[in-house]
Amino acid sequence: MSAQPAIATRGLTKDYGSGRGLFELDLEVRRGEVFGFLGPNGAGKSTTMRLLLDLIRPSAGSAQILALDTVKDSLAIRRRVGYLPGDWALYPKLTGRVALGYLAELRGGVDERVRDALVERFDADLDRPLHELSTGNRQKLGLIQAFMHEPELLILDEPIAGLDPLVQRSFHELLGEVRAQGRTVFLSSHTLSEVERVTDRLAILRRGRLVVVDSVADLRKVAVQRLEIEFGARVPASEFRSLPGVRKVSVEGRTVTISFEGEADAVVKAAAAHEIVALRPRETDLEDVFLRYYQAGAAE
């Protein structure tokens, strides 16, 4: 595997004014890894991807993909990259079959067997016009077109959006196979839980600036987890407030919601002293991760 990173940006900036855009992004994505790019809507994730594909040009800084300059060598890069835009679109009157046929011709060198295997894997509907397809079925076609030429690097903007759980599982398996082949995936999401199972490392972006790049395991350590516990009877919040790592406790009827850092051991053991009707883990809120990093930065 080449020592050159799959993606390397240096001070990459796209300034749209009024604080919008992407600012001084320094990022390296290693070859052969699945890299998650997280942030809330408007954080600059799609802007970064559009810069990498030369759809827009940087205000400052530079980026390299597969050791090629994203502006000067854009055409060579695009031969080796598969891209799924966020909320992708193609001619709505075309059927999936014609649309994929067009994109395959446009790209050249697409192995029909690979394309057919992807169609079968995702159970994609190729016979209806795109405008008649549901969001999920359209997204399947978007994934197929991005993967069908077996690119060295995949840039996927919100690839899981609209996919049902079964297709998500197929997609996660596909990512595993791609990684095993030494190919690289750079994918964005605004939800940590969507990508934490499939990514090696994550970058978090907020308001156009990089907050952190870390492994999923390390991010999870600092992330504030939320657990919703429904008890058989009312339980006072004070039973949890003093536990190690607990940051916030709220009570609504017989349900207690606890936000805590680190391991869940103390919380679960304290809860076990009561009758538990249901345990519901809540999605980790990216804002909590941001806040943790900001607080850590201020403390240093």
Partner 1 sequence: MNRPSTAIALRLRLVSAVSGAVGLIAVQLAVGALFPAIGHTIGKLSIPKGVAQLLGGADYATITGWFRSEITSIYGPLVIGALAITAAAATTAGEEEDRILALVLAHPITRARLVASKAAAVGGVVLVVAIGAWVGMIAGVAIGGGGISFGHMTAFAVHLTFFGLAAGALALAIGAGTGRRSLATGVAGAVAITSWLIYGFAPLVSALGWLKYLSFFYYYAEHDPLTRGVGVVDIAVLALVSVMLAALAMVGIERRDLRA
Residues in contact with partner 1 by the rule CB under 8 A: 46, 50, 53, 55-57, 75, 78-79, 81, 83, 85, 87-91, 93-94, 102-103, 105-108, 145
Burial 130-139 (b: 16+ CB within 10 A, else e): beebeeebbb
| Distinct helix (H) and strand (E) counts, the chain | 11, 14
Query: Between 103 and 224, whose beta carbon lies closer to partner 1?
Result: 103
First-last CA distance in the chain: 38
Strand 246-252 with 255-260, pairing:
antiparallel
CB of 191 to partner 1, least distance (A): 21
CB of 281 to partner 1, least distance (A): 35
CB of 8 to partner 1, least distance (A): 19
CB of 207 to partner 1, least distance (A): 17
Strand 246-252 with 7-17, pairing:
unpaired
Distance, CA of 3 to CA of 150 (rounded, Å):
21
Read off the DSSP letter of residue 129: B
CB of 156 to partner 1, least distance (A): 11
What's the gap between Cα 119 and its chain centre?
23
3-class SS of residue 207:
coil
Query: Between 72 and 169, whose beta carbon lies closer to partner 1?
Result: 72
Query: Between 93 and 280, whose beta carbon lies closer to partner 1?
Result: 93
DSSP assignments along 17-86, one per residue:
ETTEEEEEEEEEE-TT-EEEEE--TTSSHHHHHHHHTTSS--SEEEEEETTEETTTTHHHHHHHEEEE-T
CB of 45 to partner 1, least distance (A): 12
Query: Between 186 and 290, whose beta carbon lies closer to partner 1?
Result: 186
CB of 171 to partner 1, least distance (A): 18
Query: Between 53 and 264, whose beta carbon lies closer to partner 1?
Result: 53
The neighbour count for residue 145, using CB atoms within 10 Å, is: 25
